[in-house]
Amino acid sequence: MNDVAIPSNSTAIYRWRRLCRRTMLARRVATAGTERKAATTVIEAALREILNQTDYTTLGFYWPIKGEVDLRPFVRDTLADRFELALPYIPVRNQPVRFRRWRPGAPMTQGFWNIPIPEDETCLSPDILLIPLVGFDSQGFRLGNGGGYYDRTLKSAGRRILKVGVGFEKTHLPTIHPQWHDIPMDIVVTESGARVWS
């Protein structure tokens, strides 16, 4: 993906990123069960160390789709006693996401893209976000699913949020050719450990 010259205009970059997204998604989905389990164990250990060094109280995470790293058992078993927890939902298409309170065993309903969201409509404002990565680059910029929802959310937050990207090392790119709307992660965690930019 990275030995192809990328023109400097935004249309060409958009096309490149769309192709790159498909390639990275295929790599992520193809990650075998044993490899995925080993990687997730390392990722959880790195996240535990990062979170132990913070005094934040409200953590937003994600319900995994398309081969994303599944942190639900880790969140349920390790974080539920320490943090208020929240899952994202999309109240209006192409607008920032909001976060509903989640607790282990909480009743769920289907949200946007049929991703489960809590039935409890209580909204929280996370000060830490665990954000899934389709791909990421050496400057901490994230390639997501292409909807721009996390970028809109972070831009509109109006306050400091610790942004922790979570993904597999095989989706690391030298650059995603970031555009004006892209917001870099503070930390990216993969099975190779944590990269910190903040």
Q: Can you give the pTM of this predicted structure?
A: 0.93
CB distance 157 to 124 below 8 Å: no
* φ, ψ dihedrals at 160, nearest 5°: -80, 125
pLDDT tens digit string along 88-106?
Answer: 998 888 888 999 999 999 9
Query: What tokens appear for 192 in the block?
Result: 């190779």
Domains and CATH numbers, the chain: 10-196 (3.40.50.10420)
* Whole-angstrom Cα Rg for the chain: 16
Distance, in Å, from the CA atom of 75 to the CA atom of 85, rounded to the nearest integer, reads: 8
Distance, in Å, from the CA atom of 30 to the CA atom of 27, rounded to the nearest integer, reads: 5
pLDDT tens digit string along 62-86?
Answer: 999 999 999 999 999 999 999 999 9
* 95 closest CA partner among 162, 159, 148: 148
Question: Is the pLDDT assigned to residue 190 strictly greater than 60?
Answer: yes
- Least trusted range by pLDDT, from 34-43, 115-124, 146-155: 146-155
